[in-house]
Amino acid sequence: MNDKAAEKVQARSPRSPIGLVAGGEDGDRGHTVSRLLGRMRHSAFQGRKLGEAFEVWQRMIDGDGLICLGLAGSLASAGLAPLVTWLVERGYVDLIASTSANASEDLLEARGARFFQVDPEHVDDAELWRQGFYRFYDHVVGATDYDAMEDFTRGFFEALAIRSTAPALPGVRFMHEFGRWLDGQGLGATIAATCFRHRVPLFVPAAPDGPLAEGYRTARAKGPVVDFFADYEIALRIMARYMPPGPGTSAVFLGGGVPKDFLQITATSVKAIRGDDAPSPHLAAIQITTDNNVFGGLGGASVASECISWGKEAQDGLNVMLFADVTIALPLLCQGLLERYGAGHTRRARAAIETDLAAVLDG
């Protein structure tokens, strides 16, 4: 091995990186997941990447930069919405870009709907239709409950039409008002309501692709117009404040798709606005996905390679590509962060960031 190659090789810990947590060293002290993730960092394959993701997320939290979160797919129906609100409450994310499903389907359980597990390999979908169930791969919800949730959102559009006097408003303000309305309806544990209370910008670039579309369709009063291009202008103002020479931006992508690209493409626009030759990338990124980037989907492109060619991620950044199911990886990472920082912890930089972002949004 030549010297240049040797510089890229990190020595593995001489101790066994993974093993049963036995009595004596770790026994019964509670901090088992965080220690396990630390040991996995010195392992291999996706176990190593999970440990690296845990390490990088801690560095994001300990820093002063803006932490963005991309929420793809339908994680809310899988029961992960409480983890997202937990991250918001502790300041472990400062800005969210989400699919419409994740920003609204957490209303189902909040309103008392029940999910039921099914065997995805043997379930009869025609029979589910006859019995009145909608399927999310391996779990189902009653069609009556889902339809009622969609109809429930109609009240938001009617209330907004009465309250707002502006002819148009940005999508991020639209979601802020949605969160305010949910909070007033006693649904404060939802993602949108939690973002509202903590002044966390919630961008939903494809808001009609979900339950809100049906709520809008059935609303007796509609207005104002939602300007999603204004969203991008606001996102650019935020990113330009934090991208170097500011304290920097970082991102955690749960899946890929539109939320990931929305957050990443801001880097190319900030560079164009500044007119600099140097890129304005996120300084750290974690993507958790089961997608395979060889099929050409930009949302699935590795944050550690292809995205660098666009200037979206830093060449020397803390970029971790973790190929794993989000429903496995995110609970482990959140439990590890809980053990690492303690139950009452709030990120030190959060108060200043909240004030700063509120000024941008209100302005």
pLDDT per position as a tens digit, 134-179: 999 999 999 999 999 999 999 999 999 999 989 999 999 999 999 9
**Measured CA angle at 298 (ends 330, 310), to 5 deg:** 105
Output the pLDDT for position 2.
Answer: 42
Distances (CA, A) of 69 to 72, 85, 88, 98, 140: 10, 12, 10, 8, 27
**Structure token pair of residue 172:** 């991020």
∠250-255-261 over CA atoms, to 5°?
60
Mean pLDDT rounded to a whole number for the chain: 91
The yes-or-no verdict on residue 1 having pLDDT over 80 is no
How far is Cα 116 from Cα 135, in angstroms, rounded to an integer?
A: 9
Segment 273-296 shows an average pLDDT of 91
- CB-based contacts of 83: which residues, under 8 Å, 6+ apart? 330, 331, 334
Q: How many residues does the chain have?
A: 363
Choose the catalytic residue: 49, 260, 271, 312.
312
Lowest mean pLDDT among 6-10, 202-206, 338-342: 6-10
Instruction: Note if 312 is an active site residue.
Output: yes
Per residue in 286-310, pLDDT (tens digit) is 999 999 888 887 777 899 999 999 9
